[in-house]
């Protein structure tokens, strides 16, 4: 049976998906609560990983070891970085990078890669889902780091170095772990803010709206 692993960082990012699977079986490992369900002949495992790259990387490894997913989809909210990316737009990751780790340390040492690419089939699936829902979406780089970005000068520095469309705190940890295991991955994020001086206020206002909107994309993707 094809297995989809769906990872969200915060309970709000999985709330709508959890509503679709009220009878999901709950299994706990390494303090992560995995919810196991079925949809149209596919196994769906969804889990809340917590905030930050350590939480997201460890969760991804446990997900892979326990459930051997064919596809991993990361859902949630993010801060918009690209000029054309507006609050409540969707960003589909073409690739993911850590913005707070010098790239050459990953390029010169294991895993000899600092740019973790998404699976093309999953990217196409996400684009199609957004199209069917009539949602504005962009495909490009998502960067992650151990910091909520709400300072325009920090934002400008990250753009200068990595040229991303969105920033969050988990995607690159999931992408890095999926890469090390050879598992197909994509991150789909809805913008709750623009990672600028208004970032925190905007996040508070739009977090739930953006998380729920993104969940609709994910539900369409998994058919």
| Active centre residues (catalytic) | 13, 193
d(CA 142, CA 24): 30
- Nearest Cα neighbor of 32 from 68, 61, 53, 4 is 61
Q: What is the DSSP string of 18-40?
A: HHH-TT-EEEEETTEEEEEEEET
Minimum distance between the CB of residue 203 and ligand ADE, rounded to whole angstroms? 5
d(CA 127, CA 125): 6
Choose between 95 and 193: whose C-beta lies nearer to ligand ADE. 193
Choose between 34 and 99: whose C-beta lies nearer to ligand ADE. 99
Minimum distance between the CB of residue 164 and ligand ADE, rounded to whole angstroms? 11
Chain residues binding ligand ADE by CB under 6 A are 77-79, 148-150, 167-169, 192-193, 195, 199, 203
Q: What is the DSSP string of 200-223?
A: HHHHHHHHHHHHHHHHHHHHHHT-
Residue with tokens 């197909």: 184
- Using Cβ positions, the residue closest to ligand ADE within the complex turns out to be 79
Choose between 56 and 60: whose C-beta lies nearer to ligand ADE. 56
Minimum distance between the CB of residue 31 and ligand ADE, rounded to whole angstroms? 22
């Amino acid at each position: 049976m094809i297995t989809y692993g769906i990872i969200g960082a915060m309970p709000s990012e999985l709330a709508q998906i959890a509503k679709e699977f009220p009878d999901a079986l709950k299994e706990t490992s390494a303090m992560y609560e995995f919810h196991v369900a079925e949809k149209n002949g596919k196994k769906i495992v969804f889990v809340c990983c917590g905030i930050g790259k350590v939480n997201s990387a460890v969760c991804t490894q446990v997900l892979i070891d326990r459930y051997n997913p064919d596809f991993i989809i990361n859902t949630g909210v993010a801060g918009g970085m690209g000029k054309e990316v507006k609050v409540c737009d969707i960003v589909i990751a073409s690739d993911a990078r850590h913005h707070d780790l010098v790239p050459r340390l990953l390029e010169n040492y294991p895993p000899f890669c600092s740019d973790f690419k998404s699976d093309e089939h999953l990217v196409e699936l996400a684009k199609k889902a957004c199209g069917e829902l009539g949602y504005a979406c962009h495909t490009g780089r998502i960067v992650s780091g151990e910091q909520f970005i709400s300072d325009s000068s920090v934002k400008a520095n990250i753009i200068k170095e990595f040229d991303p469309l969105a920033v969050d705190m988990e995607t690159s940890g999931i992408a890095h772990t999926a890469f090390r295991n050879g598992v197909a991955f994509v991150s789909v994020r809805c913008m709750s803010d623009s990672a600028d001086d208004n970032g925190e206020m905007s996040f508070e206002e739009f977090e739930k709206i953006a998380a729920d909107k993104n969940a609709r994309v994910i539900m369409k993707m998994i058919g």
